[in-house]
Amino acid sequence: MTQDAVAPTPRPPRPTLVTVAFWLQLATTVLLLVLIGVVVWQAVDWNGAIDRAARLVPEADPAEVDSERLGNIVMSCVIGVPLLLLAALLGSTARGVRRGSNTARIVVFVAGGCQLLLVLGQCCFAGLMLPFLFALGGPAEDWEEEGVPAEFTAEESKFLQTLYGSGPDPAEDVFFAVGGLGAMLVFTLTLAAVVLLALPAVHRWFVPASAAAPRPPVAPPAPAPYLLPPGYMICPDPAAHAVPPPAGQDGPPPPPPGAPTAGS
């Protein structure tokens, strides 16, 4: 007899923490889509500002105008593409997390790690740029006194003065305010989902163990002894039940013809 196959342990009911992480993941995805919409709106608004500046300065250099348009597209892609990828990761794995897919749970961990690396990279970049900002942050007169090359203090073109010198742009202020607040919320929500999915109780639900311990092999049953039916008695003297010899013969019956005799 072979050992029985070990059946997997049935998955227990879904913990409440997994449900909370699922809704946090959905909320983060919706917020990312809103931020992508804000990025697109800001790109369209800034492209309109470039058009207005080009109309006010007909003699503007076309290469300079095209450079501003290209910079607007590149900056929008630099901000919007990572947001779109993150939204795709979190949105596509939300259902898997709710159903107990460990692969979807790992993808959420990867998304949280990418956000952490992005935040740390931005902080490190800002820290490296601070000395240059302080060194070149003074007015043009101070730059000339300190020996800064003339190309850094050259006067801006009329097109750039019109584009950037029109005063504070309310749309730009709204963009930076919404973008900064949204980035903080996205990072906080993702971090909360990662922490919930990393708890030991949640981990045990995503990675259920097999049966507690394998059962020992079952030994084959020993042959059962022959049992007499109830009431049957064994005689202590089997000779008493021997068949008596025929009449006129004192000894045992003669052997059949051809059988060997005792002396042969």
Q: Is the pLDDT of residue 6 over 60?
A: no
In angstroms, what is the C-alpha Rg of the chain? 46
What is the signed CA dihedral for 47, 48, 51, 52, rounded to 10 degrees? -140
Which of 12, 13, 32, 34 is closest to 24 using CA atoms?
A: 32
Name the pTM for this structure.
0.64
Q: What is the dihedral angle through the alpha carbons of 19, 22, 26, 29, rounded to the nearest 10 degrees?
A: 160
Q: Does the pLDDT of residue 187 top 70, yes or no?
A: yes
Please report the pLDDT score of residue 198 as a whole number.
92
Confidence of residue 211 (pLDDT cuts 50, 70, 90): very low
* 241 confidence band (pLDDT: 50, 70, 90): low
Higher-confidence residue of 208 and 190: namely 190
Nearest residue to 118 (alpha-carbon basis) of 86, 76, 75: 86
| Confidence tier at 173 by pLDDT (50, 70, 90) | confident
Least confident among 130-144, 153-167, 191-205? 130-144
Report pLDDT for 54.
Answer: 87
Mean pLDDT (whole number) for 151-171? 69
What does the buried/exposed string (b/e) look like for 162-192 if buried means 16 or more CB atoms within 10 Å of the residue's CB? bbeeeeeeeeeeebeebbeebbebbbebbeb
Start-to-end CA span in the chain (Å): 54
Higher pLDDT, 234 or 108: 108
Backbone angles phi, psi at 242, to 5 degrees: -70, 150
- In this predicted structure, what is the pLDDT of residue 124? 67
Split at pLDDT 50, 70, 90, the class of 115 is confident
Percent of the chain with pLDDT over 90: 30
**Sign of the alpha-carbon dihedral angle for 66, 68, 73, 78:** positive
